Structure 1
Amino acid sequence: MVKNRIFMALANCLIGLICLCLGSQSLAWESPAAPPSVTKGAQRYKLENGLTVILKEDHTSPVSAVQVWVKTGSANEREKEAGITHLIEHMIFKGTKKRKTGEIARAIESAGGQINAYTSYDRTVYHVEIRSSHLETALDVLLDAVQHSTFDPTELAREKEVVLEEYRRSLDSPTRRLAKAVMRLCFHKHPYGRPIIGYEDTIRSFDRNAILSYVDRWYTPKNVVLVVVGDFDSQEVLNKVRFLTRDFPKRRGQRPLRVQEPAQRQLRQRLLHQDVKQVYLDMSWHIPGLSHPDTPALDVLEILLGYGKSSRLYDRLKSKENLVHDIDASAYEMLDSGLFSIEATLQPGNLHRALKGIAKEVRAVQRRLVPEAELQKAKKIVEADFLYAMETASGQARTLGFFETMTGDMRHSDEYLRQVRAVSPEDILRVARTYLRPSNMSAVAIVPKDSPLSLEREEVESLFRANLAPPKGQLRHGKSGVPRSSIEKIVLMNGLRLLVKENHNLPVVSVVAVFLGGSRLEPNGKWGISGFVAEMLTRGTTNMSARDIALVVEGMGARLNAFSGRNSFGITGKFLSRDLARGFDILSEIIKNPTFPAEEVEKVRIDLLQTIKAKQDRPMAQLFDLFYATFYKHHPYGHPKTGTEQTVRE
């Protein structure tokens, strides 16, 4: 029945290719009694040496994810160690007693896998995704590296230069400079105020003894969580892990001793004049750490204020007043504390009007209860985003590892979804009033060098000060896996090719609608038109305006985005399974009936011109444009996918 409706919706669409993953209970999940369990089927083991192992079998596809989570990040560093955690992350793959330099990555990549790592303030993660037939190789390689890296002095000298180049590149990015300035302003005492990558002088100072001292304190079995998700037998993997970690080096270990950040008592602001073409603005408020009961409500507030085109900030400052190039909100919860942030890029002349608009929306959520329909939409988006991240073995491993490492129990992932569903309008009002106070706020703006702009404390305080009378509105009191399914190819009567793969692990549907196009087929002198057309697909149809589309899509907690590359363009979408039929109705409407409204054409033109202009602040983007122009002198690939100012204006 579901497939028939899909085919009817698409029967008249001229699409080159559509790929689907049909989630469970496609239309029967309308009013789920409880959110899906993230931990269902996951087993946690504590080995004799203290190592935590989480195994989850998923036989959907012959792929496995292996992740090693070390409970240490840059916040565990001493002042003189700033950046050493990140350097060690690089060095872990540079050789062991068993494998020389280059052999670690080669062992994984020759088996068709991918290997990488990252460092945050509170954790360091090493991860591999690989065919399950080579899972033993992935376990051997990762566990060998974490336990037995040699930190060769010659390799260390080379890798320090690599990290220093990464550090210098970060100085070229206005968004990274903004992020560093915000953390420094918000955290005067806590090590969160130091950049994860460290400083040039500290990076240069590290030697092998400093690295061994850090590893001895933090790379202990009790401080490591191994997560494996995919197509395997749990008992076999557990036995293999026991064997591979039987000689885990005995290290002394240490408990984190972090200086706590004193409560902020007054608004902080900083204006930075730099070599940029537009304004980069950030306003951040201190919030509690990840395990605090207010986290779910703050995550929902993030969606209400700054997620998508129907969010309050985007609707006012972008859609209606066109004061910003882009704007969003985020709740960044770390182990000890976090930040609720609003970020925007805009033209210099719009800064003060944008601040007024942002302040007005912040005051609104502090003064009035959020309407129930708007709240339900936001909660649905939080849950949908959470589930979308679980579609792959790597995504499941990432979620399980995150909650086990950051909260001490992977089962808190299930509790989180239940808490999100329980968030009430009163909860939103309470957390907005509790945390989004002017005295708890830090504001940073990077502006052009010659700009006369100012950012006065008194002005910002007066804008964000809310007269908190009683709120308007009525207060209330108060099996181990699924067998693999093959991909089914169906050719419809109009020639449309439909590829379908069912996967019932999650109540989620993913779809990609692809047309031949992209920069390769753009007419001479029309560079960027493919991306322009793609952006316009969601900007209005015969029956729906751009705002209507945004409201319907975000009201389902769905995602619908245009894309344009070098050989194709189209639409990608994600829906919860219970919204499958509605999702395909709107997808069909967008593809069959776009009207390209004149007013939206001009809005997209402005956005694209801002994107092109923003490249002047990003040397790496300029470098890639230059590379393609040089390499493809006489081919359309040589022209930037964004087009040029001249072609976009025309």
Structure 2
Amino acid sequence: MKLSTGVKKIVLDNGLTVLIKENHNAPIAAIFSYVKAGYFNESDRLAGISHLIEHMFFKGTRKRGVGQLARETKSLGGFLNASTIYDHTLYYTVLPSKNFAQGLDIQADALMNSIFDPDELQKETEVVIQEAKRKLDTPSAVATEKMFELAFEKHRMRRWRIGTEDGLRAFTREDFLSFYKNLYRPENIILVVVGDVATNAVLNEIEKRYADFEKGSLLKEESPPEPQQSQFKYNIVRGDVQQSYLRLGFHTPEIFHADTYALEILAFILGHGRSSRLFQVIKEEKELVHSISAYNYSLEDLGIFVVDATAKPENLREAEIALFSEIAKLCTDSVTAEELTKSRNLLESLLAFSVESVSGQASILASYEALGDYRLAETYMERLYEVSAEDVRRVAGKYLTLKNCSLLEYVPEPFQQDHLVGAAEIESELRQHRSISKRNAPVEKREPVPKPALFEIISPNSGEKGIVRHMLSNGLTLLIKENHQVPIVSMGVFAKGGRSREIAAISGISGLNARMLLKGTRSRTAAQIATEIASLGGGISLSNDPDYLHGTMSILSKNFESGWDIFADILSEPVFPSAELDKEKKNIIAQILRTKDDMFRYPLQMFYSVLFRGHAYGFPAQGREETVNLISREKLLDWHVSQYSPDNLVVSVVGDIDTNKIKEFVEQRLCRGNSPRKSFKISPIKNPSEIELCIEKRDKNQTALVLGFSGPRYTDEDYYKLTVLQNVLSGLGGRFFEELRSRQSLAYQVSTFLVSRLYGGAFLAYIATSPEKEEQARGSLLKEFEKLIIDPISEQELKQSIRYTTGTHQIGLETYSAQMVQFAHNELLGRGFEEVERFKAKIEEVTANDILATARKYFDLNRYAVGMIRGKKS
């Protein structure tokens, strides 16, 4: 069944377009309001106003006060959020389908009746300014936006889309009302509902709630067109970053242009995944970059082909030369039949996984309806399958030219080139390596390509079975859940232990082990592994978590057996080649540097280092440079054998599979006997005896702060109580959000997290604020924690959080991959896979007095830890 099958489209008398699709695979519904207004519709004076209007969506209506929309949605067991991009603003709710009508009422009220209170506008403007500062501290975002600014001269794509501090503060309430009145008209909005609903009942609810949404005059200001680029452009930007960020942009046509389909396939071949040309040549063979990828971003009136990479600053020029050499090769030698097949299979797989959730389906339907017709999604994908090798070669030569290129380098502040260079000098150097031979590749015979089963969704009555645990003879635990609703499989192999078994001298060995599993086996090289799995439309990822190592595979069910052969091979027959080991050590060190550029992960790492001092939980996730460099191949092999012994493994499989076949496959490949069990001494966790600080000064626009306390283990009963409390405090409508963001305008991002692991845990709060407001932010966090140990939360807060916790737990299990991970996680950490079903009842037992007692147990205001990047005061 195609995604478009069964979609009901209605245009109401006021012009509102409505799409409804029933999907009864899970008791969940998604409500998407897609407003065809975004950054492109703002004049220069109003740059950023559409995003600020999106924020005001949550700030009150005629009948609901500030924060009430989010709190009501939480009490329904769902979540409400929004996003703004160049050509649209999206408001979306996902919740249990039994509460659909109430969720629709909340979203309709916000869309039609927001009051734009002047005081709230002023507060929210300061919040958005904090969001802008956060973006300025995100190197990848700065590099991309600066490249767009370089590439576009007239079009609004060139602007810093969130707006400037002075510009945002200059908006008047009349500006908001005028923009809203001109663009938030029913004829400019698409309302999409997908989920476990009845079409006629949904339509009745929509007609009842949107009948008063008056049709008006749609005044839509469009961006000036972009003139054709005629010369190479270059710019270099410096900042407080640990490595260099490279962006290249090539102008391409709009989404439905005849060349766009070939450009999409070109992006897959050049820069999608580990098997792509750029990854294999520039990263793996030449070791010039730490990461590299490519994509074609196309909108209704323009497109841009982007290559992004990270590298050492001294390698940038050589990497750029290598990139243009690869483009030249593609233009002369064309692409292989194998590359085309691989791209089509990857595309088919991505599409299958994109419709696994109701929100994924709603997003696709809304996006293509905005472009003219929701059925264009399937037409567009079918056209991609018709692309030939000659089409790819032709568009590469047509668009990936130097005169059409804008190159942006974002480098560390201290880095200085040997001599000053400009665009002309760089262009001359690159041109030597971009010259295309007069010889053309032979034009291949265009063979007909069978149309794929795009957006395939199988009826729920095709069968879903419960999960079953199988204990194999050698101790391996196998968890299987058959579900034939979507033709995909998610599989994971989990090894208990992970980073918790590391000692300081080998910190980073788990991460190195995970990386090296993809670097070669007895029968396959690293390149063969990457190419073979991609050719099947599959993906394999390896990770090192605090309490376990795991490899996961997602693949179309028709290709599962071939994919399993590769997956089992890398887990059971790795060889850890010495040359590849040296490369991966360099990549890990680059990742360590990248973490220091991350204003969330780095202060969190600093926090863990003092909270879990002396325990493996306090070690950096990727290890330390000095320890990683000392890990030998022999030590790595020994570590792998000790972790991947069958009696230490949990294998979890969910999807369109046959239980008996899975058992047979696992027994053949992962059950070849046990190694002698190795004992690991785990250091005890010592809770802080005082206030412990880890602070680093940086030239950043914000101060990012993590403050928190020791917390329960995953198997402790306190885990449930603090899970409920976390959802009282965090997110839209939460205490911390309402106080520190909505009332005090201290931050864009403020949140709380419960982290519960096998041997211990933490309860923490995160905030990123202006350096001048650091003391106020820290004091406000502590004051909110203090309230929790004085008085119990209200009954209303308790009920709302319990409904939200249980509802979002249900929503979070919508995809096969989420189920697969949760089953294994609970099995490994001691609760058993049954916890996934038991969780709701345990949460519903929590009382306000339970939470008060638990808060008093853990939130000692004289014993906590802080990790902080202290920004530079203006």
3-state secondary structure, aligned to 1:244: helix
Q: Output the CA distance in 2 between the equivalents of 1:115 and 1:293.
A: 38
Alpha-carbon contact 1:147-1:249 (below 8 Å) kept: no
Alpha-carbon contact 1:44-1:52 (below 8 Å) kept: yes
Q: Output the CA distance in 2 between the equivalents of 1:274 and 1:538.
A: 34
TM superposition shift of 1:448: 2.6
Q: Which deviations, in whole Å up to 9, do the C-alpha atoms of 1:378-419 show, x marking residues without a partner?
A: 2221222222211111111111111112x2111111111211
TM superposition shift of 1:249: 4.2
Match of 2:381 among 411, 417, 427: 417
Q: Tell me: CA distance 1:108–1:569, structure 2 relative to 1, closer, same or farther (3 Å).
A: farther
Alpha-carbon contact 1:304-1:378 (below 8 Å) kept: yes
1:360 corresponds to which residue?
A: 325
Paired residues for 1:34-73 under 5 Å: 37-73=2-38
Q: Tell me: CA distance 1:630–1:143, structure 2 relative to 1, closer, same or farther (3 Å).
A: farther
Q: TM-score, normalised by structure 1?
A: 0.90
TM superposition shift of 1:603: 1.8
Asked if residue 437 in structure 1 is aligned to residue 401 in structure 2, the reply is yes
Q: Tell me: CA distance 1:209–1:525, structure 2 relative to 1, closer, same or farther (3 Å).
A: farther
Q: Output the CA distance in 1 between the equivalents of 2:77 and 2:516.
A: 38
Asked if residue 485 in structure 1 is aligned to residue 464 in structure 2, the reply is yes
3-state secondary structure, aligned to 2:303: strand
Match of 2:424 among 457, 467, 474: 457
Match of 1:306 among 264, 271, 284: 271
Q: Output the CA distance in 1 between the equivalents of 2:425 and 2:23.
A: 56
Q: Tell me: CA distance 1:241–1:615, structure 2 relative to 1, closer, same or farther (3 Å).
A: same
Paired residues for 1:74-473 under 5 Å: 74-405=39-370, 407-453=371-417, 454=421, 456-461=423-428, 462-463=431-432, 465-467=434-436, 469-473=438-442
Q: Tell me: CA distance 1:98–1:523, structure 2 relative to 1, closer, same or farther (3 Å).
A: same
2:487 corresponds to which residue?
A: 507
Q: Which deviations, in whole Å up to 9, do the C-alpha atoms of 1:186-207 show, x marking residues without a partner?
A: 1111111112211111111123
Alpha-carbon contact 1:60-1:503 (below 8 Å) kept: no
TM superposition shift of 1:321: 0.9
Alpha-carbon contact 1:300-1:382 (below 8 Å) kept: no
Alignment length, in residue pairs? Answer: 614
Paired residues for 1:558-597 under 5 Å: 558-597=538-577
Alpha-carbon contact 2:76-2:103 (below 8 Å) kept: no
Alpha-carbon contact 1:438-1:464 (below 8 Å) kept: no
TM superposition shift of 1:615: 2.8
3-state secondary structure, aligned to 2:415: coil
Q: Output the CA distance in 1 between the equivalents of 2:330 and 2:542.
A: 31
Q: Output the CA distance in 1 between the equivalents of 2:518 and 2:446.
A: 41
2:509 corresponds to which residue?
A: 529
TM superposition shift of 1:464: 5.8
- One-letter amino acid of the counterpart of residue 460, structure 1: E
- One-letter amino acid of the counterpart of residue 515, structure 2: E
1:539 corresponds to which residue?
A: 519
Alpha-carbon contact 1:507-1:576 (below 8 Å) kept: yes
**Mean Cα displacement is larger for which, 517-526 or 343-352?**
517-526
Alpha-carbon contact 1:271-1:455 (below 8 Å) kept: no
Q: Tell me: CA distance 1:232–1:500, structure 2 relative to 1, closer, same or farther (3 Å).
A: farther
**Mean Cα displacement is larger for which, 350-359 or 449-458?**
449-458
1:518 corresponds to which residue?
A: 498
Alpha-carbon contact 1:540-1:546 (below 8 Å) kept: yes
Where has structure 1 moved over 4 Å in runs of 4 or more?
477-480
- One-letter amino acid of the counterpart of residue 459, structure 1: I
**Mean Cα displacement is larger for which, 385-394 or 452-461?**
452-461
- One-letter amino acid of the counterpart of residue 561, structure 1: S
Asked if residue 604 in structure 1 is aligned to residue 584 in structure 2, the reply is yes
**Mean Cα displacement is larger for which, 387-396 or 529-538?**
529-538
2:734 corresponds to which residue?
A: none
Alpha-carbon contact 1:113-1:128 (below 8 Å) kept: yes
Q: Tell me: CA distance 1:472–1:489, structure 2 relative to 1, closer, same or farther (3 Å).
A: same
**Mean Cα displacement is larger for which, 240-249 or 452-461?**
452-461
Asked if residue 640 in structure 1 is aligned to residue 620 in structure 2, the reply is yes
**Mean Cα displacement is larger for which, 513-522 or 219-228?**
513-522
Q: Output the CA distance in 1 between the equivalents of 2:340 and 2:432.
A: 25
- One-letter amino acid of the counterpart of residue 511, structure 1: M
Q: Output the CA distance in 1 between the equivalents of 2:65 and 2:615.
A: 42
1:21 corresponds to which residue?
A: none
Asked if residue 621 in structure 1 is aligned to residue 588 in structure 2, the reply is no
TM superposition shift of 1:649: 2.4
Q: Tell me: CA distance 1:475–1:580, structure 2 relative to 1, closer, same or farther (3 Å).
A: closer
TM superposition shift of 1:268: 0.9
Q: Which deviations, in whole Å up to 9, do the C-alpha atoms of 1:313-336 show, x marking residues without a partner?
A: 111111111111111111111221
Q: Tell me: CA distance 1:627–1:597, structure 2 relative to 1, closer, same or farther (3 Å).
A: same
Alpha-carbon contact 1:487-1:499 (below 8 Å) kept: no
Q: Output the CA distance in 1 between the equivalents of 2:607 and 2:254.
A: 43
Greater RCO (CA < 8 Å, at least 6 residues apart): 1
Alpha-carbon contact 1:516-1:568 (below 8 Å) kept: yes
- One-letter amino acid of the counterpart of residue 469, structure 1: K
- One-letter amino acid of the counterpart of residue 70, structure 1: V
Alpha-carbon contact 1:359-1:463 (below 8 Å) kept: no
Consecutive unaligned residues in structure 1, runs of 5 or more: 1-35
Q: Tell me: CA distance 1:368–1:544, structure 2 relative to 1, closer, same or farther (3 Å).
A: closer
Q: Which deviations, in whole Å up to 9, do the C-alpha atoms of 1:466-520 show, x marking residues without a partner?
A: 3352522244369994137243213142443333334444332222222223333
3-state secondary structure, aligned to 1:127: strand
Q: Output the CA distance in 1 between the equivalents of 2:25 and 2:396.
A: 42
Q: Output the CA distance in 2 between the equivalents of 1:235 and 1:475.
A: 51
Alpha-carbon contact 2:458-2:484 (below 8 Å) kept: no
Q: Output the CA distance in 1 between the equivalents of 2:477 and 2:75.
A: 33
TM superposition shift of 1:304: 0.6
2:650 corresponds to which residue?
A: none
Alpha-carbon contact 2:22-2:197 (below 8 Å) kept: yes
1:8 corresponds to which residue?
A: none
TM superposition shift of 1:598: 2.4
Alpha-carbon contact 1:526-1:647 (below 8 Å) kept: yes
Q: TM-score, normalised by structure 2?
A: 0.68
Q: Output the CA distance in 2 between the equivalents of 1:64 and 1:500.
A: 26
3-state secondary structure, aligned to 1:434: helix
Q: Output the CA distance in 2 between the equivalents of 1:381 and 1:329.
A: 15
TM superposition shift of 1:270: 0.9
Q: Tell me: CA distance 1:135–1:428, structure 2 relative to 1, closer, same or farther (3 Å).
A: same
- One-letter amino acid of the counterpart of residue 307, structure 1: H
Asked if residue 496 in structure 1 is aligned to residue 443 in structure 2, the reply is no
**Mean Cα displacement is larger for which, 474-483 or 157-166?**
474-483
3-state secondary structure, aligned to 1:309: coil
TM superposition shift of 1:215: 0.5
Q: Tell me: CA distance 1:426–1:102, structure 2 relative to 1, closer, same or farther (3 Å).
A: same
Q: Output the CA distance in 2 between the equivalents of 1:161 and 1:377.
A: 48
TM superposition shift of 1:643: 1.9
Q: Tell me: CA distance 1:37–1:464, structure 2 relative to 1, closer, same or farther (3 Å).
A: farther
Q: Tell me: CA distance 1:136–1:530, structure 2 relative to 1, closer, same or farther (3 Å).
A: farther
TM superposition shift of 1:84: 0.7
Q: Output the CA distance in 1 between the equivalents of 2:611 and 2:190.
A: 45
